[in-house]
Amino acid sequence: MSSIRHPKITFWRTVVAIIFLAGAYAAYARFALGFEQSTHLADSQPWGLWVGLGTLCGVGISAGGFALAAAVYLLGFERYRPVIRAAVLLSFLGYLSVIVGMMYELGLPWRIWHPIVMWNRRSVLFEVSWCVMLYTTVLSLEFSPSLVEKIPWVRVRDLYLKWHHQILIGLVLIGAILSSLHQSFLGGLYLLAKGKVDPLWYSSYLPTLFYLSAVPAGISATIMAVYLCNRSLNARVDPRLLSEMSQIIAPMLYVYALLRGVDVVTHGGAGYLFRWREETLLFWFEIALFVIAPVILLSQSKVRNNPNTLYGTCALVVMGFMANRLNVSITAFQASSGFYYVPKWTEFALTLATVTAAGVAFHYAVKYLEILPRSVPAKNWMTTHPATA
Amino acid sequence: MARSKAILIDITKCIGCLSCEAACKQLHGFAQDPEPKLSTTAFTIVEQHGDRFVRRMCMNCQDPACASACLVGALKKMELGPVTYDSSKCIGCRYCLVACPFNVPRYQWAKLVPFVTKCDMCYARQAKGEQPACVEACPVQASIVGWRDEILEEAQKRILTDSKYVKRIYGSEEVGGTSVFYISDIPFEQLGFASLQSQPMPVLTANALGDIPTVVMVGGGLLAGLYWITNRRKLVALAEAEESAAESRTGKDPHHV
């Protein structure tokens, strides 16, 4: 090629560039100026948006990978195989973004390795950190064939893929258990804050509730991702497959709602359900978004079978899920701390930039690797003879 | 277990002179300006409630929430009583701040290399047999230090022999007991003390953590069992398909599918 091709300036590229610029400044503020200049965190709200949105939502929305991997490889739902790679990739990038988030969330990020050698088995956070480390390793192994099959050296490639095939079932099984453990333990973190967490959210069943809400959110996010790939990356996944996949969401939300309802009442939240206060309003906002609206919408085949409305409904589930995590981590602490935490714009900017980076990586992975069946074959990157695993 | 130390703070005796605060600041090399609340430069402060003075400091719990929360074990309950902080382990996750039922730990938000700060009952001094700086500085013995069992006895004696006291030793039962006790002639609720469970805080997470082996074994067994069924079905289907293929090859039943 003699001429250099300049990238075209498009709307989305501009948006992404602005987000990255804002994120770069926020990162500068965090690392060169400190927490005080880059966040509105305080002693009475030591965990804010970075934990609530970055970590809790990041991990939760990444639950699709283990759920679909278990469904396809362990339970034999072969028909979901076309989306399995997309689900695993989404989870992998989700966990990577959570780990990147840790780098600015922790006060001393260069010590992020400490939990490997310094153990406290009584700490829920210790268990979470180990599960996240191990599961990210599992995800990278689950995802690895997408990259390895592009290696031009056939021998190495085949050797790796053969080995991978042998350990895959074990990986999926370990991954499902690790995920289940730390998805619930993220809720378990808040058990210790009894007396600080509002009765509408505190419960000794927080671990179970976190787990039961993460799975439908993860599946919804996977449906959204595949829909977007169908729409703008020439992916050709049968929309009926997505519609079928969405049928599991409503039953999961029913179970969640039932447990949550019983739980709120038995844990002393009943008296707060209909009080005129911000927490109660946000509670109902969360319930409406996460449970009521999706359950009604998903019960109609008209909504499920139209890819656009299905996408919108899944977006509601994901947003409702995010509302729940932000409520647990921020809203629920307001009354007890007497501190009204509103995140600083730099907190939003850094989280948004991290998520956007994951989105951009997802985009290019789908474009250049064999992640989803596509009408336009993947660009011949590295090798012209990609193996299929 | 070796005997541990405890501090008794008698609210009826405190005159609000702030000597304790000053001694603490001097020991840690902080600037000598009184602060209204615990901070990264004030590990103990004196609050005024009406005409009573209440000195706040880390309660140094018997089974501390912060120490159970800390994933790297930077916070530790020592045999001598104090709950110490090893800054060389801390990764800055701030879970201890979330966990503490007394809202004691503070974080150095303004620093580029921020650490957690809190009172450690002058562990270094006590290990040498000296009193905590705040106790030593008290001119009226509103704070006294001693072996925990003896200090509890002393508190018991005071509230039983003098009718002005509320019949309660704050810290003897709260969150499983602490190493700092308060006695008062005014109900503790009116002095801003939190009503807390008598169960140690770590019990709340211990149950969940105790479920790990069950989840791993039951979940793992269940998934492995389901996989076995799935795989078996696949194998049976494969064998059947091969059988019918073989049959069609031998021409026994060419139309059978």
Q: What residues form DSSP beta bridges with B116?
A: B107
Main-chain phi, psi angles of B147, to 5 degrees? -65, 140
Q: What is the pLDDT of residues A181-208, one digit of tens each?
A: 999 999 999 999 999 999 999 999 999 9
Residue B81 is given by DSSP the state: S
Q: Cα–Cα distance between B93 and B116 in angstroms, integer?
A: 10
Q: Cα–Cα distance between A61 and A316 in angstroms, integer?
A: 13
Q: Cα–Cα distance between A98 and A108 in angstroms, integer?
A: 16
Whether residue A193 and residue B115 make contact (CB cut-off 8 A), yes or no, is no
Main-chain phi, psi angles of B201, to 5 degrees? -55, -40
Whether residue A111 and residue B91 make contact (CB cut-off 8 A), yes or no, is yes
Q: What is the pLDDT of residues A70-118, one digit of tens each?
A: 999 999 999 999 999 999 999 999 999 999 999 999 999 999 999 999 9
How many angstroms separate the CA of residue B175 from the nearest CA in chain A?
Answer: 11
Q: Cα–Cα distance between A326 and A61 in angstroms, integer?
A: 13
A contacts of B74 (beta carbons < 8 Å): 118
How many angstroms separate the CA of residue B49 from the nearest CA in chain A?
Answer: 19
Whether residue A108 and residue B207 make contact (CB cut-off 8 A), yes or no, is no
Query: What mean pLDDT do residues A106-131 have?
Result: 96
Q: Cα–Cα distance between A116 and B70 in angstroms, integer?
A: 14
Q: What is the pLDDT of residues A320-347, one digit of tens each?
A: 999 999 999 999 999 999 899 999 999 9
* Percent of chain A surpassing pLDDT 70: 96
Whether residue A34 and residue B114 make contact (CB cut-off 8 A), yes or no, is yes
Whether A350 maps to a domain, the answer reads yes
Picking from A27, A36, A330, the residue whose alpha carbon sits closest to that of residue B106 is A36
CATH of the domain at A178: 1.20.1630.10
Alpha helices in B6-143 (DSSP H): 19-28, 65-69, 95-99, 123-127, 133-137
- Test mutation, B38, B77, B94, B96, chain A, max A CBs within 10 A: B94
Whether A186 maps to a domain, the answer reads yes
A346 in helix, strand or coil? helix
Whether A22 maps to a domain, the answer reads no
A27 in helix, strand or coil? helix
Cβ partners under 8 Å of residue A364, min gap 6: none
Query: Tell me, what's the pLDDT at A376?
Result: 67
In Å, how far from its chain's centre is CA A89?
11
Q: Cα–Cα distance between B54 and B16 in angstroms, integer?
A: 8
How many angstroms separate the CA of residue A203 from the nearest CA in chain B?
Answer: 10
Residue B188 is given by DSSP the state: G
Whether residue B212 and residue A181 make contact (CB cut-off 8 A), yes or no, is yes
Max CA distance (Å), chain A: 73
A contacts of B93 (beta carbons < 8 Å): 106-107, 125
Structure tokens at B114: 């921020």
pLDDT at A125 over 90: yes
Whether A40 maps to a domain, the answer reads no
Class of domain B5-201: alpha beta
Interface A:B, Cβ pairs < 8 A = 163
Length of chain B: 257
Structure tokens at A313: 């409904």
Structure tokens at A14: 């501009």
Half-sphere exposure of A335 (CA within 13 A, CB side): 15
Whether residue B208 and residue A192 make contact (CB cut-off 8 A), yes or no, is no
The amino acid present at B216, given as its one-letter code, is: V
Q: What residues form DSSP beta bridges with B107?
A: B116
**Which chain A residue has its CA at the smallest distance from B75's CA?**
A120
B88-99 b/e with 16+ CB inside 10 Å = b?
Answer: ebbbbbbbbbbb
Q: At what angle do helices A206-232 and A154-188 cross, to 10 degrees?
A: 140
Whether residue A188 and residue B209 make contact (CB cut-off 8 A), yes or no, is yes
pLDDT at A389 over 50: no
Rg of chain B on CA atoms, in Å:
30
Is this model's pTM higher than 0.95 or not?
A: no
Main-chain phi, psi angles of A374, to 5 degrees? -130, 150
Q: What is the pLDDT of residues A347-381, one digit of tens each?
A: 999 999 999 999 999 999 999 999 998 886 656 55
Decide: B30 and B162 in contact? Cβ < 8 Å: no
Query: Tell me, what's the pLDDT at B252?
Result: 57
**Which chain B residue has its CA at the smallest distance from A39's CA?**
B109
Decide: A185 and A207 in contact? Cβ < 8 Å: yes
What is the DSSP code string of B227-251? HHHHHHHHHHHHHHHHHHHHHHHHT
Alpha helices in B11-76 (DSSP H): 19-28, 65-69
> What residue segments make up the domains of chain B, in order of their start?
5-201, 211-250
B contacts of A111 (beta carbons < 8 Å): 90-92
The reply to whether A46 touches chain B by the CB within 8 Å rule is yes
Whether residue B196 and residue A35 make contact (CB cut-off 8 A), yes or no, is no
Tell me the pLDDT of chain B (257 aa) as tens digits. Answer: 578 999 999 999 999 999 999 999 999 999 999 999 999 999 999 999 999 999 999 999 999 999 999 999 999 999 999 999 999 999 999 999 999 999 999 999 999 999 999 999 999 999 999 999 999 999 999 999 999 999 999 999 999 999 999 999 999 999 999 999 999 999 999 999 999 999 999 999 998 898 889 889 999 999 999 999 999 999 999 999 999 998 887 765 555 54
Boundaries of domain holding A256:
47-368
Q: What residues form DSSP beta bridges with B76?
A: B84
In what helix (H) or strand (E) does residue B144 lie, and over which residues does it extend? strand B143-147
Q: Cα–Cα distance between A43 and B106 in angstroms, integer?
A: 6
Q: Cα–Cα distance between B196 and B201 in angstroms, integer?
A: 10
Whether A3 maps to a domain, the answer reads no
How many angstroms separate the CA of residue B170 from the nearest CA in chain A?
Answer: 17
Q: Cα–Cα distance between A371 and A369 in angstroms, integer?
A: 6
- Test mutation, B43, B93, B232, chain A, max A CBs within 10 A: B93
B contacts of A46 (beta carbons < 8 Å): 94, 97-98, 107
A374 in helix, strand or coil? strand
Whether residue B197 and residue A194 make contact (CB cut-off 8 A), yes or no, is yes
Cβ partners under 8 Å of residue A201, min gap 6: A190, A269, A283, A327, A328, A331, A332
In Å, how far from its chain's centre is CA A252?
17
Beta strand extents in B14-159 (DSSP E only): 45-49, 52-56, 75-77, 83-85, 106-107, 116-117, 143-147
**Which chain B residue has its CA at the smallest distance from A105's CA?**
B93
Whether residue A108 and residue B202 make contact (CB cut-off 8 A), yes or no, is no
Query: Tell me, what's the pLDDT at A388?
Result: 46
Which of B70, B114, B233 shows the shortest C-beta gap to A76?
B233
Which of A36, A125, A204 shows the shortest C-beta gap to B71?
A125
Quick one: CA dihedral A56, A62, A66, A72, positive or negative?
A: positive
**Which chain B residue has its CA at the smallest distance from A177's CA?**
B216
- C-alpha distances (whole Å) from B140 to each of A284, A319, B32 are 54, 59, 21
Q: What is the pLDDT of residues A288-309, one digit of tens each?
A: 999 999 999 999 999 999 999 9
Number of domains observed in the structure of chain A: 1
Q: What is the pLDDT of residues A29-70, one digit of tens each?
A: 999 999 999 999 999 999 999 999 999 999 999 999 999 999
Query: Tell me, what's the pLDDT at B31?
Result: 94
Q: Cα–Cα distance between B7 and B135 in angstroms, integer?
A: 8
Decide: A127 and B209 in contact? Cβ < 8 Å: yes
Structure tokens at B172: 């003897």
Main-chain phi, psi angles of B77, to 5 degrees? -85, 120
Whether A247 maps to a domain, the answer reads yes
Query: Tell me, what's the pLDDT at B208?
Result: 87
